Amino acid sequence: MIQSMIIHRFSALALAAAALSWSAAPSVGQDRRVPGSPAEVQMSFSPVVKRVAPAVVNVYAAKPVARQNPLFDDPIFRRFFGAPGGPGGPGGPGQGPGNRMSSLGSGVIVDPSGLIVTNHHVIEGATEVKISLADRREFEAEIVLKDQRSDLAVLRVKGAGERFPAIDFADSDAAQVGDIVLAIGNPFSVGQTVTHGIISAVARTQVGITDYQFFIQTDAAINPGNSGGALVDLTGKLVGINTAIFSRSGGSIGIGFAIPANMVRVVVASAQGGGSAVKRPWLGARLQTVTPEIAESLSLKRPVGALVGTVTGGSPAARAGLRTGDLIVAVDGAGVDDANAFDYRFATKPLGGHAKVGVIRNGKDTAVTVALESAPELPLDELTIQARSPFMGARISNLSPALADELRLDISSDGVVILDVANGSVAQSLGFQRGDVILQVNDTKIAKTSDLERVSSQASRAWRVTARRGGQQISFMLGG
């Protein structure tokens, strides 16, 4: 269940007040007395809330409901692939022209000009977006940038002509377990709500929410509708964007996750620079997390680090001298516990410079200097399959280093990758998804998009497909 939250740490003033109260605590045998004034018992987060709450907004995203695909009027395809609303088919009752659904989330104003950051899943597929301020004024917003890999999106208020209250970024790498935090959002559509808690853990990498798995965990209560809300410290700075909770019931049980502010800063900077996509450093190497068995084979005291599996020729990793079997343990002095931690550390580095990557090679510590440059873009030759086939509605592309890096695919892979599948399409109903690589169809090798387009246009009652998903090659039969 996706949620939102806000983080918040003790200010120097609060710490001083707490220290004073501890020093004044009566020792054994001392007389106890009733507090003489409210100031002696009151500690409130309200000054921080008053400062940051106006910068937290509600986000409303209108999305069209998928129409029934005319292909399902064909009785043969209804038999092979299922009908909408039935087994094997998408959708259900009430799907028709003009039907819409709305999603509700939260967002944070990060620039006084009206730039807002929220979660990608809040606005995914939206045709209209509106935001509502804490003072109940509503504005239309445009989507400036979407970054599915980090589950972040940037919006801009349309034609506002005013300056808005904004929240500054904190250094999320300085966040520590035990820091007090505040979460602000709109849970269950009840209105803006503030909860507080502590940072329960940092650098959570085994969560499985986004490509960049490096989350701040908190016990501040967050619930549906909090997605995209602020996690702030007691100085009123943004520590993270609340993204998900762990829950079996759909409600908060005190385990929530926020995207660190240092990752959010990268995405926002791309939007401020006029980009429609986030450009990140490209390593050009496949990494794997060190298991206890690998650690034993490498004579490591504990299973930490990111093990280099393969290195792409001509990539920054190759030019830096990184080798298969190297164990990456640090990036610019920051420790790397696993492959996910490396991805985060490397992805939050600015393009154009260099990063010093700490490595253990043959049992000895060394370091390599890696250029921080984006993966090369090649002509992708994108197209959408229109012919009546299992791939109808799939948007496909040839692979480039940049696309392979984005989708976590081996750049040496053959085949054509699926970029997206249309809602209600045949491809969606059959379970094809973004990142699937089609290798072969009906004994025809698929090397480029034109191959799959040609095969799809050929009438066939049975389709034999070989594809790769998640590094595993699978073969299956459709129809027949």
Mean of the per-residue pLDDT values of the chain: 81
**Torsion, Cα of 406, 409, 413, 419 (10° steps):** -60
Quote the pLDDT of residue 361.
Answer: 92
Q: Rounded to whole angstroms, how far apart are CA atoms 322 and 361?
A: 10
Reference 171, options 202, 133, 134, 141; nearest CA is 202
Quote the pLDDT of residue 247.
Answer: 60
Reported as a single tens digit per residue, the pLDDT across 378-388 is 656 889 999 99
Is 285-371 the same fold as 1-18+44-278? Answer: no
* Active site (catalytic) residues: 121, 151, 227
* Domain 383-479 superfamily per CATH: PDZ domain (2.30.42.10)
Mean pLDDT of 409-430: 84
Burial 297-329 (b: 16+ CB within 10 A, else e): ebebeebbbbbbeebbeebbbebbebeeebbbb
* Domain 285-371 superfamily per CATH: PDZ domain (2.30.42.10)
Question: Hey, what amino acid is at 169?
Answer: F
Alpha helices in 62-106 (DSSP H): 75-81
Pairing of β 462-469 and β 437-441: antiparallel
Which option is the CATH number for 1-18+44-278: 3.90.1150.10, 2.40.10.120, 2.60.40.420, 1.10.357.10? Answer: 2.40.10.120
Reported as a single tens digit per residue, the pLDDT across 241-294 is 998 776 666 666 678 899 999 999 999 999 998 887 888 999 999 899 898 998
Residue 405 structure tokens: 């890096």
Quote the pLDDT of residue 379.
Answer: 57
Reported as a single tens digit per residue, the pLDDT across 114-145 is 999 999 999 988 889 999 998 889 999 999 99
Percent of the chain with pLDDT over 90: 45
Residue extents of the structural domains in the chain: 1-18+44-278, 285-371, 383-479
Helix, coil or strand: residue 146: strand
Residue 90 structure tokens: 């998408």
